[in-house]
Amino acid sequence: MNSETLDTLSTYSKNKYKYGFITDIDNEKPKKGLNENTIKFISLKKNEPEWMLDWRLKAFSKWKKMKEPKWANLSFPEIDYQDIYYYSAPKGFEKKPKDLSEVDPKLIETYNKLGIPLEEQKVLAGVAVDVVFDSVSVATTYKGELEKLGIIFCSIGEAIQKHPDLIKKYLGSVIPPGDHSFSALNSAVFTDGSFVYIPEGVKCPMELSTYFRINAENTGQFERTLIIADKGSYVSYLEGCTAPKRDDNQLHAANVELIALEDAEIKYSTVQNWYPGDEDGKGGIYNFVTKRGLCAGKNSKISWTQVETGSAITWKYPSCILKGDNSIGEFYSVAITNNFQQADTGTKMTHIGKNTKSKIISKGISLGKSQNTYRGEVSFLRKADKARNYTQCDSLLVGNQCGAHTVPYIDSKNNTAVIEHEASTSKINEDQLYYCRQRGLSHEEAVSLIVNGFCKQVLQELPMEFAVEAQKLVSISLEGSVG
Amino acid sequence: MNIQDNYQKNRKNIFFSENKDIETHRENLINIFENDRFDKKNNESLKNINLKNFIDFKYKYLIPEETSVINNNHENSYSIVSVNGQCSTFKDDKIEITKILDEDYNDFSKNNIIEKNDHFVNLNSLFLNSGFKIVIKRNNNIKIKISNIVTDDDLTIFQKNNIICQEGSSLSLIEEYENKNNSTSNILNVIKLEKHSQLNHFLIQDNSSNHNLIITSHSSCKKDSTYTQKVYNFSEGYVRNFHYSELIETNSEANLQGIFFLKDNNTSNNKTFVKHSAEDCKSNQVYKGILNDRSKATYFSNTHVDQVAQKTEGYQLSKGILLSDNASYFSKPELKIYADDVKCSHGSTIGPIDENAIFYLRSRGMSKIAATKILISSFINEELSSIDNEQMSEIIQKKLVRYLSKVK
């Protein structure tokens, strides 16, 4: 590595997390720790029916018997589940505000700092936003327009009250509460998240979006998102995250379930930029997310796109179960890790139906002392005739103290299915750098250009609303270090 | 019978059971067995295996009556017959063949790249009852052919061989495993290549369906040395090929290649692991498999690049053809990279024979079976044509024809 790169690396390492600020809002919390009373407290606060409480308690009893999955290439101190608050809601939110003027102005200010003012989004972007601040949905916009089409877009808490039939039918149908310890934990204590139902034949006219934001210290955020696309419908859903700077590790274990029925399509995009910890690896979010989509009907399609730049630990495998014939699963991912960040992310494509297709494009970039792992499973079951998979995972290493790992699992039980997998690991090409420098770009600009080119295949899959933000994020993540 | 009782009962027949250090090591191994409980889910080395055969086995070993022969048929060319894993001692100015010694055992037990829960390697260390050591002396160019023979039914052979290529030597080693009896061979080859040495290692495996073969190798390469291994598995019985290679000094190279041909209910587990611990080293891992009927195969490949191992080139390729509805293939090509100036890649494909290619051949008047056979041959042609040993390539061609005759 030349001295220039070393210089730029050290300048970067001094850069502080841009979005690190804390909003002081009184929090209402139950006592720390996890037991049946905590769950009853949450259920009571959310005014839930009894069957929901039973469901939570069942999940809790399963969780008690389970151990955390250990196969990921991550190292972190043992999580003390008894030292975490499981519910926090900004005060006075028992009764929901009818419009933005009723919302705590400090909250609005927080969003302004993040560069996504609710007001502006409402008017300009035409995006309906269901904001999760800590655990209670603050404001939901554009609801009226969606209602006209019969689309249900609300918080999961509201859905439990208003649409118990759908919840009973689909909640936990893709990710059973007993799947693994994080899903059981989430099932027991989830507080908020989004619920989307697109009725038969409806193409959702706008990108639905939620901004998750973790605030209060030591509060684990346990969202539960459930999206159901009925026959012939289409929906594109955006999820973005940024968190304020804290020293204590914060636990996040979200569950996201997608269900696409016959001819339906769901596009789910994520930009994740939570606090990754400081340059010594102190603090940062622990992100253990279970995301799973079920292509239940014929010709259905689920597409995951993610840009992962934050979190001290990322443990995330958005996957697709391709059950319906001719269904399609896609996964596009960019994961950038810096300093002491650790990411173990990838996907799982399970081909059950005939003529199912899946495509995986994963790009990992490791800088500093970080570890970046792609872990993916592609399996063709016996009846998946003529199924097809293409996987490409590339890693880029910047600096000699980081690591890039690729761990694919490929399993074929069908002799008409075709699977192709390729992966490569390399550093930034010297010739490309030389070429750019020769044409007058600075070292930083040149590296930025090359890295952006490296990720382009994935970034272009993001919807317009996100593409700009994602590109900004990629350059912020590289800023000072390489470009 | 559990493993501990089995061991205690047969202790007197096992190598080095009077050595204290080795005894402590073995006690640790027994503890691993007791604690692990053979959890198939979290131990990839146990996938697709009928464990009962290997854990609940009846220990039986016969010391061969007729000691094995070493023939010096041409200059620089030797053929060795190893009977029940044993071989008579031999010494001339080029090679030296002896029994394995306590120190060889200790030397191996310190290795750190074979997983602690690889039970077959642990069983080998525990029940060790045979083995030999071959040393190729400095600056010699040698050819050796070893025929591995098991004499009786129901034998359990736990064999550990040491092969050492001294500085500047070159060895072409062909090992044949063709057994028809109902026995189990668990073989561990520990191979050491010193500076500027070279080893071409061919393994031809063609056992009948009741013979199980478990073969593990661990090679370490010093400066400017090259280890090339080619495995041809035509066996009808269970075969496990696990091969580990460590590149410990600069400019060394490891090539681990294999082809397996499976049919009926047969299972084969394969693994290659290359650890790059020095700069400027190269590695290649290429496995190809053809699976027919209800056969099952797994292939794990792994390239590990240490932080110091800059300028590494490491490549992996895994290809599988499934000829039948009921065959299944699992592959896991892994890369673990801690250095930045490297070129590493892996590719993996699994699928049927290309229909367009079949159509092309059929439109030129070939029957479907003939077309299939031609395409299977072409799938592995690259590997077969690269064999520079004429005798070897003839043997393999014959076995290939035999396999293809069963393809329908």
pLDDT in tens, B120-137: 888 888 888 888 899 999
Of B42, B333, B345, the CB nearest to A408: B333
pLDDT of residue B35: 77
pLDDT of residue B121: 86
pLDDT of residue A465: 64
Residues B153 and B82 in one domain: yes
Residues B364 and B339 in one domain: no
Contacts of A6 in chain B (CB under 8 A): none
Contacts of B345 in chain A (CB under 8 A): 422-425
Residues B266 and B400 in one domain: no
pLDDT in tens, B322-377: 998 889 999 999 889 988 888 888 889 999 998 899 999 999 999 999 999 999 99
Say whether residue A403 is in contact with chain B using an 8 A CB cutoff: yes
Q: Quote the domain boundaries for residue B392.
A: 356-408
Q: How confident is the model at residue A9 (pLDDT cuts 50, 70, 90)?
A: low
Output phi, psi for A453, to 5 deg: -65, -40
Please say if the pLDDT value at position B379 is more than 70. Answer: yes
**Count of CB atoms within 10 A of residue A280's CB?**
10
Mean pLDDT of chain B: 87
Pick the residue from chain A with its C-alpha nearest to B41.
A71
CA end-to-end distance (rounded Å), chain B: 43
Q: How far is CA B240 from CA A101, A178, B126, B184, B260, in A?
A: 70, 35, 18, 11, 11
Residues B382 and B287 in one domain: no
> Which of residues 352 through 391 in chain A touch B, CB cutoff 8 A?
382
Q: How confident is the model at residue A127 (pLDDT cuts 50, 70, 90)?
A: very low
pLDDT of residue A350: 94
Please say if the pLDDT value at position A92 is more than 70. Answer: no
Q: How far is CA A361 from CA A469, B400, B403, in A?
A: 20, 38, 38
Q: Is the model more confident about B55 or about A66? A: A66
Q: How far is CA B49 from CA B60, B110, B185, B214, B267, in A?
A: 22, 27, 15, 12, 8
Mean pLDDT of chain A: 78
Pairing relationship of beta strands B95-99 and B90-91 according to DSSP bridges:
antiparallel
Say whether residue A422 is in contact with chain B using an 8 A CB cutoff: yes
Residues B234 and B380 in one domain: no
Q: What predicted TM-score, i.e. pTM, was given to this entire model?
A: 0.81
> Which of residues 89 through 108 in chain B touch A, CB cutoff 8 A?
none
Please say if the pLDDT value at position B312 is more than 60. Answer: yes
Q: How confident is the model at residue A190 (pLDDT cuts 50, 70, 90)?
A: confident
Say whether residue B327 is in contact with chain A using an 8 A CB cutoff: yes
Torsional class of A346: left (φ above 0), alpha (ψ -120 to 50), beta (otherwise):
left
If you search the block for the tokens 């979200």, which residue do you land on?
A254
Of B340, B346, B349, the CB nearest to A397: B340
Q: How many folded domains does chain B comprise?
A: 2
Please answer yes or no on whether A71 and B42 come within 8 Å at the CB atom. Answer: yes
Best mutation target, A342, A348, A383, A425, to test chain B (most B CBs within 10 A): A425
pLDDT of residue A217: 42
> Is the complex ipTM higher than 0.85?
no
Q: Is the model more confident about B214 or about A84? A: B214
Residues B316 and B363 in one domain: no
Of the three residues B336, B352, B368, the one that is the final residue of a domain is B352
Q: Is the model more confident about A281 or about B212? A: B212
Nearest to A335 by CA among A409, A421, A276: A276
Tokens standing for A334?
Answer: 């960019």
A263-290 average pLDDT score? 83
Of B337, B341, B350, the CB nearest to A410: B350
Please answer yes or no on whether B337 and A407 come within 8 Å at the CB atom. Answer: no
Residues B335 and B403 in one domain: no
Q: How far is CA A106 from CA A101, A121, A240, in A?
A: 12, 17, 20
Given 3-state DSSP classes, what are the helix, strand and coil percentages for chain B, each rounded to the nearest 5?
Answer: 25, 40, 35
Contacts of B327 in chain A (CB under 8 A): 413, 415
pLDDT in tens, A403-428: 899 989 999 988 899 998 988 888 88
Of the three residues B352, B374, B392, the one that is the final residue of a domain is B352
If you search the block for the tokens 């593409």, which residue do you land on?
A467
Chain A: closest CA distance from residue B288 (Å): 14
pLDDT of residue A139: 41
Q: How far is CA A476 from CA A138, A242, B59, in A?
A: 29, 13, 64
Of the three residues B352, B368, B400, the one that is the final residue of a domain is B352
Residues B236 and B375 in one domain: no
CA atoms within 13 A on the CB side of B237: 20
Please answer yes or no on whether A414 and B322 come within 8 Å at the CB atom. Answer: yes
Q: How confident is the model at residue A25 (pLDDT cuts 50, 70, 90)?
A: low
Q: Is the model more confident about B40 or about B174? A: B174
Contacts of A416 in chain B (CB under 8 A): 352
pLDDT of residue A126: 36
pLDDT of residue B187: 92
Please answer yes or no on whether A419 and B307 come within 8 Å at the CB atom. Answer: no
Q: Is the model more confident about A120 or about B240? A: B240
The answer for residues whose C-beta is within 8 angstroms of residue B2's C-beta and 6 or more apart is none
pLDDT of residue B37: 67
The answer for residues whose C-beta is within 8 angstroms of residue B110's C-beta and 6 or more apart is none
Say whether residue B16 is in contact with chain A using an 8 A CB cutoff: no
Please answer yes or no on whether B337 and A395 come within 8 Å at the CB atom. Answer: yes
Please say if the pLDDT value at position A119 is more than 90. Answer: no
Please say if the pLDDT value at position A86 is more than 50. Answer: yes
Please say if the pLDDT value at position A394 is more than 50. Answer: yes
Of B310, B332, B351, the CB nearest to A408: B332
Pick the residue from chain A with its C-alpha nearest to B344.
A425
Please answer yes or no on whether A398 and B340 come within 8 Å at the CB atom. Answer: yes
pLDDT of residue A261: 93
Residues B307 and B390 in one domain: no
Residues B110 and B219 in one domain: yes
Chain B: closest CA distance from residue A471 (Å): 24
Residues B341 and B362 in one domain: no
Say whether residue B355 is in contact with chain A using an 8 A CB cutoff: no
Stated length of chain A: 483
In contact, A418 and B354? CB cutoff 8 Å: no
Please answer yes or no on whether A423 and B345 come within 8 Å at the CB atom. Answer: yes
Residues B308 and B365 in one domain: no
Say whether residue B345 is in contact with chain A using an 8 A CB cutoff: yes
Chain A: closest CA distance from residue B354 (Å): 10
Of A407, A411, A427, the CB nearest to B340: A427
